[in-house]
Amino acid sequence: MSDVPKSHPRYLSLTLRDAIVNGVEQGITSIHGLIAHGRGEAYDYLIGEKTQPFAKEAIRAAAAMLCSAKHPVISVNGNVAALAPNDLIELGQVLKAPLEVNIFHTESGREQKIREHLIKHGASKVLMPTTEVKLSYIDSNRKYVHPDGIYKADVVFVPLEDGDRCEALRKMDKDVVTVDLNPMSRTAKQASVTIVDNVVRALPLLCKEIKTFSDNPAAQETLAAYSNEAVLQEALQHISRCANG
Ligand code: ATP
Ligand code: MG
């Protein structure tokens, strides 16, 4: 880690940069992941680097959707593995859902390194892509999935997703829960539930919400009344209010 003093006004943001850079150095995160992270940082600045009410609303809907799923699966890429491995593992435990590695750039054994990194942090089971089954509507490496994981899933949790695969998963009639700081990305628009927040803040809140979730009629009503489009509009309005004020 670089020696950023805790008193530095951008301490947290700089700590996350360190985590991503470490991920690249360990071969977990793709060098392209740095660009995705930079875009995320810019949007985080715009939303005030805090979990806003529109994200809290999406977290409640996400918990209801994931808890009602028959076969929820957590898709892991190199950025989220570097930023929040412990929270991903906790989410898998509270949901009793498998983690599955799924990445775009597969250079130098990165899939295997992500798996080993998660196991080192305490994951008991990490599914890997296979050539046995493929997702439709997608040409990249991300089409290769595990038959007992993403292929079979009815709800997929995919933080920091790429728009192409989100679209493919939706076309395959799967619900997608994502965490994406950019409310204008294709992923944000196409997902069933989009949590517009930094994944490092959203994951612990989502785990907490799931732990206290009780499947009562009110929870189902929350989900039925949820509009992802409205939540994205709220995020955009928040950004423009901050920009004007
Ligand atoms: P899309 O393909 O959905 O249109 P994109 O091509 O702009 O999006 P990608 O590189 O495919 O972006 O995906 C990265 C996304 O993850 C970006 O929207 C970025 O804002 C977001 N992101 C990056 N870091 C974080 C983070 N720590 N927490 C939440 N979101 C993040
Ligand atoms: Mg993309």
Q: How far is the CA of 55 from the centre of ligand 2 (A)?
A: 21
Task: Please identify, by atom number, the ligand 1 atom nearest to the C-alpha of residue 190.
Answer: 3
Query: Cβ(8) to ligand 1 under 6 A?
Result: no
Between CA 139 and CA 236 the distance in angstroms is 31
Could you tell me what percent of the chain has a pLDDT over 70?
99
Q: How confident is the model at residue 58 (pLDDT cuts 50, 70, 90)?
A: very high
Whether pLDDT at 1 is above 60: no
Listed residue (175, 172, 177) closest to 159, CA to CA: 177
pLDDT at position 46 is: 94
Between CA 207 and CA 213 the distance in angstroms is 10
Average pLDDT for the chain? 93
User: Could you tell me if 80 and 160 are in contact, meaning their C-beta atoms sit under 8 angstroms apart?
Assistant: yes
Average pLDDT over residues 169-192: 97
> What is the value of pTM for the model shown?
0.95
CA-nearest residue for atom 28, ligand 1, is 198
pLDDT at position 207 is: 97
Whether pLDDT at 2 is above 80: no
Q: Tokens 């997902």 label which residue?
A: 191
Listed residue (11, 17, 52) closest to 237, CA to CA: 52
Strands 175-179 and 193-195: parallel
Query: Cβ(36) to ligand 1 under 6 A?
Result: yes
Which of the ligands is closest to the CA of residue 39?
1
User: Could you tell me if 150 and 102 are in contact, meaning their C-beta atoms sit under 8 angstroms apart?
Assistant: yes
Average pLDDT over residues 186-195: 97
User: Could you tell me if 202 and 59 are in contact, meaning their C-beta atoms sit under 8 angstroms apart?
Assistant: yes
Query: Cβ(19) to ligand 1 under 6 A?
Result: no
Higher pLDDT, residue 87 or 12 = 87
CA-nearest residue for atom 1, ligand 1, is 163
Average pLDDT over residues 40-55: 96
Whether pLDDT at 94 is above 90: yes
Query: Cβ(77) to ligand 1 under 6 A?
Result: no
Whether pLDDT at 215 is above 80: no
Task: Please identify, by atom number, the ligand 1 atom nearest to the C-alpha of residue 187.
Answer: 3
Average pLDDT over residues 57-85: 97
Task: Please identify, by atom number, the ligand 1 atom nearest to the C-alpha of residue 80.
Answer: 27
Q: What are phi and psi of 127, to 5 degrees?
A: -80, 150
Give the SS3 label for residue 106.
Answer: coil
User: Could you list which residues have their CB under 5 Å from ion ligand 2?
Assistant: 162-163
Binning the chain into helix, strand and coil, the percentages to the nearest 5 are 55, 10, 35
Query: Cβ(192) to ligand 1 under 6 A?
Result: no
Between CA 51 and CA 204 the distance in angstroms is 11
What is the CB neighbour count within 10 angstroms for residue 158? 26
